[in-house]
Amino acid sequence: MFISRILAAAALAVLPLSSQAVAVGPDVAVQRAVDAVLAKHGGEQISPNQVRWADGGAVTTIQDPSKWGDPSTCAYGNFCVYTGSGYVGNRTDFYNCRAYTYYDDFWSYVNNQTGHTVAVLYSDQGSDPFYTPGAWHGQFTWNGLNYSAIKPC
């Protein structure tokens, strides 16, 4: 019996990780999402759930689900895109006035810039750019596919 326990433990130890049950807590899930943003945009992790992009001027936040659906998460002076409709999911805040390469899909946005500033969304299909309404403006549902760049001003 003792030998069979040792053999069972040895067999389990050599199984690939994917076949073992591994609990993934919220901290691990958030870090995986942060790592994915870092892999795509470079930069640095500036908090447990935020990445400042390598080229500066943009920060992606892995939002706590309790903040989902709240357009006020987009700080004054920023143009923000959300990975889900209804201001849900990860949020990227753009705060410098220049064009950013952005091939990620987004499904809602908030223009919370100063005055009546307009953001410009550039299509990767060669069509004319889309100009958002001036600030303050939120788009609860937006088909953010096929855009290759965002200029928040």
**pLDDT of amino acid 26:** 67
Q: The whole model's pTM is what? A: 0.79
What CA–CA distance (Å, rounded) separates 77 from 135? 9
Q: Phi, psi (5° rounding) for residue 83? A: -75, -15
Model confidence at 11, pLDDT cuts 50, 70, 90, reads very low
DSSP label at 27? H
**pLDDT of amino acid 24:** 56
* Residue of 132, 138, 136 whose CA lies nearest to 151: 132
Q: Sketch the domain layout of the chain as residue ranges.
A: 31-151
**pLDDT of amino acid 102:** 85
DSSP label at 9? H
Strands (E), the chain: 44-47, 50-52, 58-61, 78-84, 88-94, 100-101, 108-112, 120-123, 130-131, 137-139, 147-151
pLDDT tens, residue by residue, 109-135: 999 999 999 999 998 877 789 999 999
Per the CB < 8 A criterion, the answer to whether 90 and 33 are in contact is yes
Model confidence at 5, pLDDT cuts 50, 70, 90, reads very low
CATH 2.40.10, applies to 31-151: no
Residue 38 CB-half CA count within 13 A: 15
**pLDDT of amino acid 22:** 47
What CA–CA distance (Å, rounded) separates 103 from 148? 5
pLDDT tens, residue by residue, 14-59: 334 444 444 456 689 999 999 999 999 999 999 999 999 998 889 9
